[in-house]
Amino acid sequence: MNFRSSFTFRALFLLGPLLFFPFGSASPLHLPLDQCFLQAPLGSLSFQCLPLDSPSSLLPPGFICYDETKLNITIFKAGGTISANGTQNSTLYQSGVLNLEIVANSANVCNIANIRIISVYEDDSINLHLPLMLEIARKIEIEVNNPYTHALVVAGGTDAQDELIAVVHQTVHTLKAIVFTGAILAATATDADGPKNLSDAVRLGLALDARHRGLLVMFNGHILIASLTFKANANHFDAFQAHPGGHIGQMINNKPIFTIPAAQPFKNKIFNITTIPINISVPHVRIAYAHAGMNNSGILNGVDVLVGAAFGTGYWPESDTVLKEAGDLGIPIVISSRVRLSYVEKHPPCGYGIGAGLYNPQQAAVLVSLCLIVGLGHNCMEEVLKHGISY
């Protein structure tokens, strides 16, 4: 191929999408809706997808409202405070007991999109465990592959949200927007924050530029990369923070405003939720926390993996011998940090195990459990805990 033809080929390859989908074009594209939504160009504000192929008679059940001029959002009710029943603004409430449709109606989300609500979990997130997280991930995988679903919102508990996000991030692979949200106050509280978070999450899911970004968290007006996000405050509406680079936008005048272009967060596609067995034996992963005067002797009985919540960037007191004991027994060791905004290198300074990168101890625990469930060991743990190319 000569230079001229090579240049022409490259130009068509790079600019071809713009020739068919020019920025600012208002011409509708007649494709199955989810394909149209995914192929619409990033940055286009007036691009249209006509829902001519999805008359209401063909829609799956569960829609609480439908208008053929709107796009379709599925909301997974996943328990937690956003659907909790409590008194006034108390933090004493019963999680997951309210019909999420009540919250959805309060949020007026039917004015924004066609809304389908599916209950996948109806308890406090503190009662989640790995088999339940995998079950939710399977349902997410099925739903995002539904051609009538343009985006998915997971409205659930916030206490164990970072662990659920870690599982979904590593097992579900899609270009569609998946937005996690929740609430600090119960749905029945006077100043309940759930309805606003839910309506913001629906608006975010509808945004063309929310695609190609992996999992997102929408909370208190902030748009965050889910895999870099953690709960930092259990008492105030501004509950979530992110590692550097994880805060990518905010809601302004009911519109998601992104501060960086769309890009998928780094991950190794080791797992696929469709190939993980349904009936699993959950490994025994023990988390040992570093603290002054600690003594972790005797905690290794039956342990499959030891996760150390270390000081700083991976330091462990010499007086505590649990890491050496685990190493002598051949138990895999993963070193995370008890400090939220910390990064632990692949080879931690304590001299033992694999560094967990940016993952906190509880996220590291569920991810290494996945490695054991699928029959992979040390190499899998090393790969899944990566957070960048230079790891």
Cα 189 to Cα 83, 89, 106, 192: the distances in Å are 11, 5, 12, 5
CA 24, 30, 35 angle in degrees (round to 5)? Answer: 85
Tell me what pLDDT residue 189 has.
83
Asked if residue 196 has pLDDT above 70, the reply is: yes
pLDDT at 105: 85
Mean pLDDT of 244-273: 89
In this structure, what are the phi and psi dihedrals at residue 380, rounded to the nearest 5 degrees? -65, -45
Provide the percentage of residues in the chain whose pLDDT is more than 70.
Answer: 80
Which span out of 183-192, 295-304, 375-384 was modeled with the highest average pLDDT? 295-304
- Smallest Cα–Cα separation from 340: which of 221, 239, 259? 239
pLDDT number for residue 115: 94
Q: Which residue has the higher pLDDT, 261 or 33?
A: 261
pLDDT digits (tens, 9 = 90+) for 53-98: 444 555 667 889 988 888 899 999 998 888 877 665 556 666 655 6
pLDDT recorded at residue 165? 95
Q: What's the predicted TM-score (pTM) here?
A: 0.85
Least confident interval from 14-23, 79-88, 95-104, 244-253: 14-23
What is the CB neighbour count within 10 angstroms for residue 46? 9
Region 323-334 average pLDDT = 96
Tokens 């290198």 map to which residue?
A: 345
* Least confident among 103-107, 205-209, 238-242: 103-107
The reported pLDDT for the residue numbered 122 is 87
